[in-house]
Structure 1
């Protein structure tokens, strides 16, 4: 998911996440978001962060 810089600050990212979480939960799944950062040169660093959605509302 991506929100262009010009569209940021209007709640679009939160709306996208809420919709994705709702769609995942509707069949009983628990959504997890993996965030990957890649920098191939010169350090060639790859980092991964995992975010689980909070419990059922």
Structure 2
């Protein structure tokens, strides 16, 4: 079997430890407040440029 079965209790314990101890230390080292960490929103995603010839459009 390629995928090992996860130990749920150990995983929960490690995740809890990470967010209680390690995550605040990493934020502090990065000089970032917990309130500054947020999910990305679509307005932050760069927009794709069009491949149209804008000069040709102006002339038409």
TM-score (normalizing by structure 1): 0.32
Relative contact order, higher structure (CA 8 A, sep 6+): 1
**Which is greater in Rg?**
2
More strand by share: 1
TM-score (normalizing by structure 2): 0.31
More helix by share: 2
